[in-house]
Structure 1
Amino acid sequence: MASNKAVAYKGAGVVEIIDTPFPTFELQDGPGVNPENVGRKVPHGVILRTVATNICGSDQHMVRGRTTAPTGLVLGHEITGEVIETGRDVEFIKVGDIVSVPFNISCGRCRNCKEGKTGICLNVNPDRPGSAYGYVDMGGWVGGQAEFVLVPYADWNLLRFPDRDQALEKIMDLTMLSDILPTGFHGAVTAGVGVGSTVYVAGAGPVGLAAAASALLLGAAVVIVGDLNEERLAQARSFGCETINVANGDPADQIEQILGVREVDAAIDAVGFEARGHGDGATAKEAPATVLNSLMDITAAGGSLGIPGLYVTGDPGAVDEGAKKGSLSLSLGTGWAKSLSFTTGQCPVMKYNRQLMMAILHDKIAIAKAVNAKAISLADAPRGYAEFDAGAATKYVLNPNGYLDN
């Protein structure tokens, strides 16, 4: 049996490289695997040799100990790989294909999948709609920060790149199709961004930068990115965004200095539940509802908020009892009075990934440059997690099998 090394969560602030079983076409018991999924047959799946797998801010929430993730959970949901074995029921995907794996697992058969709502598939997670690789409470499908990984419903889930050589040449861009580029794009689309829009993006992490780049791709006139981290704000400016540091005062005041008015047409929350307050001392105090309430203030009446930032129902490290179960102090009256629209939840990656693949292949978006992607070895994953947690303006891309130039 071939070996398989992977990145596993070992407790708050700790990840380690472990030996883990080589994938088979049957789900095995293990950390985080839903008992009802143990023994589940996957004849419709494929086994991938991982080409690239990225460290995501959502992974970081777990590694910080801010979720109920179990010790030993193999991490990783941003997967690009080469098919090395196909299950007996796979018809169209072939050995040797280079493919992108949507982070949300979907069956292609249920009502939600048939309606394009692949982020809330009804058949892959016994506990709730929606599933993902290597993520807490998502059904226990093993993560892809590993040398090899199993992908179910392969003919449905996988996006095959049309040309192997072209794909490998642009792989640092294409690896963003598994999550952050569609997620950022979804944030911009659901915020109503279009030609001539003024847009505010809260958060200059990789998803925020992807949302900003997506807003520009959609024709926004001005994209303003807000954050506390000056290095990340400089990264946003590198591809044409305006920026504000929310530690320096009310975002509305700073937006007015840029636009001449205190509101934008569209707003995107790329921060999520670990938000911090705005103004003096903002770096020190966590305030999980701050971003959402701020966006309601600065979005013009009748506008929309795209909310790709992660919010959870279980946060043991939250600042108050309500936030520990996902209950936040929202000024919903503000949103109601301004007739604002809100879109939350997992991005349905398959709704966008082919179009965004074409945009990458034809040089319409340089997403790896926008998020400052950097390839590192699988063994360097603990360092990547630590540097990302410390605020590095870098999207770390793991290279388990030597396809990338580190």
Structure 2
Amino acid sequence: MAAMTSSPSGPGTTGTTGAPGSSASGRPLLNRRLAEFGTTIFAEMSALAVRTGAINLGQGFPDTDGPDEVREAAVRALRDGRGNQYPPGPGVPELRAAVAEHQARVYGLSYDPDREVLVTAGATEAIAASLLALVEPGDEVIALEPYYDSYAASIALAGGTRVPVTLRPRDGRFVLDLDELRDAVTPRTRLLLLNTPHNPTGTVLTREELAAIAELAVERDLLVVTDEVYEHLVFTDETTPAHLPLASFPGMRERTVTIGSAGKTFSFTGWKVGWVTSTPELVTAVRSAKQYLTFVASGPFQYAVAEALALPESYFTGVREDLRAKRDLLSAGLTAAGFEVYRPQGTYFITTDIRPLGDDRSHGGDGFAFCRALPERAGVVAIPNAVFYDHREAGAPFVRFAFCKRTEVLANAVERLKAL
């Protein structure tokens, strides 16, 4: 959405479009809650990639489709007339059952598919519906900074006040300061909005961090919305655990709204199939808001995703190992080009610090200027992490690259980056 006022741009935005900003009465045309949000950085950088012929490692979408059998399941549903008309409001029963079975099989979490699972138009709608349902004007929402840009917009639409708690680089990863998190909670705090594995930093919150968050939420009687769309994209080693759902911690099942999605795991981002799992009361609340957003969506694709969730474990292992190899390829190339690289523990994004390149090449640590110049200099597009921060100065020197691309595309990007 393009902002139509001269207000400063917010997280994920690049400023205003210069369009007329007010009506004849003088009142701004755009709802004031959205006044700080301009055109997204993704639109700007993708257009720059097209104009310059650069390799687009900015926006996080795969450049190949997911499994043939899942795509054919969607085709079969279309031909069989399943989902071509409005599907049930909560989602088709097959998908709700598949989500519940997945949570039980992978995490040992039991959900009633009829009362505790809600299908949404991707995770973005799930986030928006959750915040619209659970947050009222004046409520504070704590989010880990940097954060996905729709978080800020959804909090604003709900009339809430966002309170960022900043993840800071330390020992090769971005780390949550638990004392800072605790200090951010006030009597007005309604909800914690979490994301792990974390976009854009690639951090995976540890068991100890999650346990401390759970303890704080129980102690202060907070609701938690947790975005876990990268749950299957965790590169486990001796320091990184497999994904741990926050709802599995003591006292959290009854206060946590967990969000999942098919797009990242199965490489069908355009299908927009996500879901919410929680208690009947919380799911009912989220559904009350969701029904006035899309009402329903993605009918035939819901049947296909139900089949995708039943794929054998070898599929999920294969996806992880493929992305691990791509992570290592791009990480090595970025390091060789002079970046400081924060090797991600999960997701398919790499955050880098541009300052080691030197002031001339790093534009003095200005990620915006660096990313706008990079396509001409090296034929590659990246995203400045500062768009994901309220505290822009904290994110200024960091730049994100996506590695969910074909190996030959990443190898070409690495070769181009040698120009730096």
| TM bracket, shorter-chain basis | 0.3 to 0.5
TM, length-normalised to structure 2:
0.35
With a CA cutoff of 8 Å and minimum separation of 6, indicate the structure with the bigger relative contact order: 2
TM-score scaled by length of structure 1: 0.36
Q: If each structure's helix is expressed as a fraction of its own residues, which one has the higher value?
A: 2
Between Structure 1 and Structure 2, the one with more strand by share is: 1
